[in-house]
Amino acid sequence: MIKKYKIVFYLVLYFSAKAQAQAPKYSNEFLNIGVGARALGMSNSYIVSANDVTAGYWNPAGLLGLGSQHQVALMHSEYFAGIAKYDYGAYATRLDSTSALGFTMIRFGVDNIPNTTELINANGNVDYNRITSFSATDFAFLVSYAKKIKIPGLRIGTNAKIIRRKVGDFAGSWGFGIDAGIQYDYKKWKFAAMARDITTTFNAWSFNLTDNMKDVFLATGNTIPENSVEVTLPKLLLGTARKFNFNPKISLLAEVNIDATFDGKRNVLIKSKAVSMDPHFGLEASYMKMVFLRTGIGNYQIYTDNEGKKVKTLQPNIGIGVHIKSFTIDYALTDIGDQSVALYSNVFSLKVDINKNKR
């Protein structure tokens, strides 16, 4: 019966282990999934092109590209056959001709997880009525500000973010961090940099475990978690983009990004103990600025299969978008990069312009 506890209670162990780990690698990874089907269709190659409400996540400097006085965006996606749900909502507004403000909320969660740690009563009997359920959820709240400065073509922005993570009633954390981004236009080229967690983000975890839960941890060979601090080290994103206009109706946008991490060697294309770099590339074809076709490629990895062979994988993404008056609907089909399994996620997002003619 104890083995069953270990399987059913896996997610609790998983979240607790992340909080207790000494290495900060992969901390707060739900914030690296991305938002907006436009960006996801371009394989997250978007820190340069971000010029709407979603820039609050990708690069706050891009909020100055708002095409209306106010913008609202919503997105929903599901992963692992609907087990995990990812939701996003944002609002942005122009303060004046040189500044903009944005608010973003993200939720990533697994709901209705069975909790069987109380399955056996005080008399040692199995009582299925004692089974309850809980959710493991991650929340992020971002406040973004963008400012156009005196240098022609240069825009800067910053995020202040609050992170709340919960595992039922028995584990939770609060975290705080700051991001900063810039965008620069030079002739036909555009450049950008986005520094995430520039001050290092700290998640303070606390635990409230019953005696039965502690017994399960010990019986399954796991350490009872203690209150601790999880650290997210800075991450630097660099990018360049250019738009090619073939005629007044047809254009093509191309963007290349490089994600640089400094938390130890990662399984990416360019890796070392000091820095690891993950390049990715995206394209967007536009017809009359109303219909969009997108594709991208990234997430290059090498892993060892069950036969001991080295396997190389890439993550391809595709997407489409339609813009009609004040509404933009985007769709992306994303692959997790496993060619043998080919698991895909369907992502839809909606963007609404309010007071479009006001600046």
CB atoms within 10 A of CB 43: 28
> Could you tell me if 66 and 342 are in contact, meaning their C-beta atoms sit under 8 angstroms apart?
no
Domains and CATH numbers, the chain: 2-354 (2.40.160.40)
Q: How sure is the predictor about 121, in pLDDT bands with cuts at 50, 70 and 90?
A: low
How far is Cα 196 from Cα 200, in angstroms, rounded to an integer? Answer: 8
Assess whether pLDDT exceeds 90 at residue 295.
Answer: yes
What integer pLDDT is reported at residue 343 of this predicted model?
62
Structural contact between residues 313 and 301, judged by C-beta atoms closer than 8 angstroms:
yes
Tell me: pLDDT of 140 over 90. yes
Point out the least confidently predicted range of 11-25, 131-145, 203-217, 277-291: 11-25
DSSP letters along 150-175, please? SSTTEEEEEEEEEEEEEETTTEEEEE
Q: Give the dihedral of Cα atoms 265, 267, 271, 273; nearest 10 deg.
A: 10
**What whole-number distance in Å separates Cα of residue 140 and Cα of residue 126?**
39
Query: Mean per-residue pLDDT for 204-213?
Result: 82
Closest CA to 35 of 353, 351, 306: 351
Check residue 288 and give left, alpha or beta (phi > 0: left; psi -120 to 50: alpha). left
The 3-class secondary structure across 236-255, one letter per residue, is EEEEEEEEEECCCCEEEEEE
User: Which residues, at least 6 apart from 272, have a Cβ–Cβ distance to it below 8 Å?
Assistant: 265
Rg, Å, the chain Cα set: 22
On the question of pLDDT at 1 being above 50, the answer is no
Tell me the two tokens of residue 345: 């996620």
| Dihedral-angle region of residue 319 (phi above 0 means left; psi in -120 to 50 means alpha; beta otherwise) | beta
* pLDDT, tens only, 306-338: 788 888 888 889 999 999 999 999 999 987 544
Q: Mean pLDDT across the stretch 115-143?
A: 81
Residue in this structure with the two tokens 């993550």, named with its chain if needed: 315
Q: Residue 252: which region, alpha, beta or left (left: phi > 0; alpha: psi -120 to 50)?
A: beta
Task: Return mean pLDDT, the chain.
Answer: 86
- What pLDDT is stored for residue 340 in this prediction? 46
The predicted pLDDT at position 286 comes to 97
Closest by CA to 161, choosing from 123, 195, 113, 209, is: 195
Strand partners, 173: 165, 205
pLDDT at 131: 78
Strand partners, 220: none
